[in-house]
Structure 1
Amino acid sequence: MTQWKRAMVAVTLAAALAAMTACAATPAAEESVSQTAPASSAVQSESGAGTEEESTSAAQGGETETTNIGSFTTQTLDGETVDETIFSGHTLTVVNVWATFCGWCVDEMPILSALNEEYAEKGVQVVGVVNDTITADGEEDPEQVALAKDIVAQGNANYTQLKLSDDLIQLGFASLPAVPATFFFDGDGNMVGQGFLGAKNEEQWRETFDTYLKMAEEQMGESAA
């Protein structure tokens, strides 16, 4: 099993812990649990207690061996080709995987958009990956792409949005147990800390950005030494 696959498995094992702030992997599964899910604003405020502990744990207990995402090619929602060089020139890239049916995902888009602007001068960028723009046969669904574009526009999400490609599917982005899921990478495409499932409020996200930015700076410094 590759290092990246092990990292994805770790996120899968954490799925139960994020159940209160994440959507099931498919619309059908999400509908089956939606009747018992509380309002997003209430859950986000209640989930804040574990954020500092989670971030501190990631900062102190991360693996010393780096995990690189490797080579990949995909496209933005607007059809622009993107590859692994998207990480270059940025100290930290926050990759937020979302789906069109996930209210949690949509709710945090304005927060991520604002932080994307605020932290740009610190070398941070946010990149979205919408993981339900393909059919069960692996073909692109034009209606889903159009829906994703509408959601992005309505949420004023000013950051790059990627569609799934064969490469991203092979990397596991289509088989996550829940969304939103977030991963962090340094300028070389190495994973920073551990990814996690579930949404956050603005205070939690700001704390997360600060923590992972520091980790990325230290990681890049070590690799340059």
Structure 2
Amino acid sequence: MSFHLRVLLYTIASLFFIFTNVFGQSQQSSIDSTFSAYMDSASVDLREHNYSDNLQKKYSDEFYQYFEQYPDSEMGQEALWRAFLLWGNLGEADKMDKAMKRIDHDSKTWRRIIVPISNGYHLSDQKTREDYIELLENLKSNLTDPKSKSEVLFALVRHFNSKNNSQKVIELARKMIEINANDFYVEKALGFQHEAESLGIGVQAPNFKAKTLQGNQISLADYKGKIVVLEFWATWCGPCIPEIPHLKSLNSKYSEDELQIIGVSLDTDSEKLEEFLKEREMEWPQIVQPKQWDDEITQMYNVYVIPRSFIIGRDGKIVAKNLRGEELEKEVAKLIQQ
């Protein structure tokens, strides 16, 4: 074969490779675009039918099938995440476990599916909280993507914080800070580290001074000698609303000499908040934190989710955290009797 013929054949082969590669990318882009539009229409359909179980099962299966067919495409990863969201709503832990075996430990998708996995395990009849924590511990050791690993550590920190395990919280928070995946995770880690060191059970509650929505200047120290329930909430917070009847029950049951409830609202519209308080007959003092999560008292008490409560004893020390409903009422009753 002559030199010129070899050059010609090589050129033809190179052009063919470039053409097929570009055509393949173009074809994949078209397929992804079409499926993206389909997923958007599915979201509308789900909302219109109040996320019926049958529709969630249908769409989650279709989304996962698309991922299986195109696992390396951006839309394939998006479809996988959406499948996990719906499985989380349905408690389909078995499908989640099967799908997780298909996800590489260096994948960035892990960051987006940790919360849906938590929901799925919680709603599953076959899984326990311990199973979820065991999974997180395994992922903590194996994931390599910094943000995904930080999301796992964040979930573990919240778990051990709820168990008042300060030593474990500090250990995990320091790992998040060390990874330094982004500002969000570092700030959350610093908040939990602060809570573990300064907001533990038996620790003196941080004092604060603030003006209430009603215009009165109050200080936490003013209520020493009483039981104080510090309740962080907002009118727009769905899980906060069922707590209101329990707080009203406590407020009517005990005298001002025995108990003081202080609401700390993350609302930004004071007029709307005042209307809400009047309508619900919530008569205890309310402090407003318009900067929400970044405001003075919310940061002082590491408020990363609402509702969040602190019960403070007569000596000004923290007695309990994050109790709700009847548990909150029982704890207050026990403290009043002491």
TM-score scaled by structure 1?
0.52
Identity, in percent, stands at 24
2:133 aligned partner:
none
Q: Which has the larger radius of gyration?
A: 2
Deviations 1:126-147 (A, max 9, x none): 22111233xxxxxxxxxx1112
Say whether 1:182 aligns with 2:317: no
Q: Matches of 2:332 and 2:241 in 1, distance apart?
A: 19
Offset, 1:75: 1.4
Q: Matches of 1:97 and 1:186 in 2, distance apart?
A: 17
> 2:214 touches 2:285 (CA, 8 Å); kept in 1?
no
Q: Matches of 2:246 and 2:202 in 1, distance apart?
A: 29
Q: Matches of 2:270 and 2:256 in 1, distance apart?
A: 31
Q: Matches of 1:205 and 1:64 in 2, distance apart?
A: 18
1:87 aligned partner:
223
Match of 2:286 among 156, 161, 183: 161
CA separation of 1:70/1:150 partners in 2, compared to 1, >3 Å: closer, same or farther? Answer: same
- Could you say what the CA RMSD is over the residues aligned between the two structures, in angstroms? 3.4
Amino acid in structure 2 at the alignment position of 1:161 = Q
Amino acid in structure 1 at the alignment position of 2:306 = V
CA separation of 1:107/1:187 partners in 2, compared to 1, >3 Å: closer, same or farther? Answer: same
Amino acid in structure 1 at the alignment position of 2:312 = F
Match of 1:100 among 235, 239, 243: 235
CA separation of 1:114/1:206 partners in 2, compared to 1, >3 Å: closer, same or farther? Answer: same
Match of 1:68 among 204, 229, 234: 204
CA separation of 1:177/1:168 partners in 2, compared to 1, >3 Å: closer, same or farther? Answer: closer
Q: Tell me, which stretches of 5 or more residues in structure 1 are unaligned?
A: 1-31, 38-56, 134-143, 218-225
Q: Matches of 1:76 and 1:66 in 2, distance apart?
A: 27
Amino acid in structure 1 at the alignment position of 2:263 = G
Offset, 1:115: 1.5
Offset, 1:64: 9.9
Match of 1:171 among 283, 295, 300: 300
Q: Matches of 2:235 and 2:244 in 1, distance apart?
A: 12
- Between the two proteins, the alignment pairs up a number of residues equal to 143
Q: Matches of 1:68 and 1:124 in 2, distance apart?
A: 18
2:322 aligned partner:
196
Deviations 1:105-159 (A, max 9, x none): 22322331122121227712222111233xxxxxxxxxx1112211111111121
CA separation of 1:105/1:81 partners in 2, compared to 1, >3 Å: closer, same or farther? Answer: same
2:330 aligned partner:
207
Over 6 Å off, 4+ runs: none
Amino acid in structure 1 at the alignment position of 2:304 = P
Q: For CA contacts below 8 A with separation 6 or more, give which structure has more relative contact order.
A: 1
